[in-house]
Amino acid sequence: MKKLNLHQVEKCLVSSGFRLFRTRNLMSTFEVSKRAAQAFLSYNIDKGAFVRLKPGLFALTSNLPGDFAIANRLYYPSYISLNSALSYYNLIPESVYAVTSVTPKPTREFEVIDRLFDYRRIKRQAFAGYVPKVIDGETVYIATKEKAVADFFYFVFLGKRGYNNRLKLGNLDVSKLKEALALFSQKKLITFVNQFLKK
């Protein structure tokens, strides 16, 4: 059975840009069996060289991806939104502990490498309004400013999240915000948000 060398694997992963990778990436890159790749990963996770983010998804301890990149891959499909996106766009002043995303899949939470990754379910028809953006050298999917605000208001409207009085609404494109709100197909939601826009 062909053996993998940790130094060579680390060097290849870094040079190839694999900050997140799967067992099959090792299999195809180094032409080894699934059994050999799994044994190599298991051994080196115990030694601290790799981190298992979830079954089948790994990262180099010495070259960890950013939280947003991890969030995109940890639960797919999803995109960064709610408090994480609002903080990224400086629409709220506070720093955020959990990395927040929305998904058309069931609501879930994961704790990985001492961070909480929170995924909130929205209607599939409203799973839009996000863009690829390079953040810290990695391309991640994140809501536009207006969609992040629309997602936030959707959960406030449902009573699943409290309103943040420090949310900055002054620099938003109101027409884009209303387009984002319309994706939820709830007229009462737009009426609800209008009362905050008038303040």
Does one domain contain both 50 and 77?
A: no
Kindly state whether residues 107 and 187 are assigned to the same domain. Answer: yes
> What CA–CA distance (Å, rounded) separates 20 from 64?
8
Please state the domain count of the chain.
Answer: 2
What does the pLDDT read at residue 18?
Answer: 84
The two structure tokens encoding residue 100:
């927040």
**Is 1 part of any domain?**
no
pTM above 0.85? yes
Instruction: Please give the order of strands across the beta sheet that includes 57-60.
Output: 21-22, 57-60, 50-54
Among candidate residues 63, 79, 105, the one where a domain is terminated: 63
Q: pLDDT by residue for the chain (199 residues), tens digit each? A: 467 899 999 999 888 888 899 999 999 988 999 999 999 999 999 999 999 999 999 999 998 999 999 999 999 999 999 999 999 999 999 888 899 999 999 999 999 988 999 999 999 999 999 999 999 889 999 999 999 999 999 999 999 999 999 999 988 999 999 999 999 999 999 999 999 988 7
Residues 40 and 95 in one domain: no
Is 86 found in the same domain as 179?
yes
What does the pLDDT read at residue 137?
86
| Domain identity same for 87 and 54 | no
Q: Among 63, 86, 112, identify where a domain stops.
A: 63
**Cα 25 to Cα 21, 22, 52, 78, 129, distances in angstroms:** 6, 5, 14, 22, 31
**99 and 47 housed in the same domain:** no
Asked which of 46, 63, 80 is the last residue of a domain, the reply is 63
- Do residues 187 and 147 both lie within one domain? yes
| 35 and 83 co-located in one domain | no
Looking at residue 196, what DSSP letter applies?
A: H
Confidence (pLDDT) at 131: 98
Pairing assessment for the beta strands 50-54 and 57-60 based on DSSP bridges: antiparallel
- Asked if residue 81 and residue 144 are part of one domain, the reply reads yes
- Give the three-class secondary structure for 135: strand
Q: What is the pLDDT of residue 2?
A: 65
| Predicted confidence (pLDDT) per residue in 101-142, tens digit | 999 999 999 999 889 999 999 999 999 999 999 998 899 999
Same domain, 90 and 185: yes
Q: How many helices (H) and strands (E) does the chain have?
A: 8, 9
Domain that holds residue 185: 67-197
- Same domain? 161 vs 105: yes
Same domain (yes/no): 50, 103: no
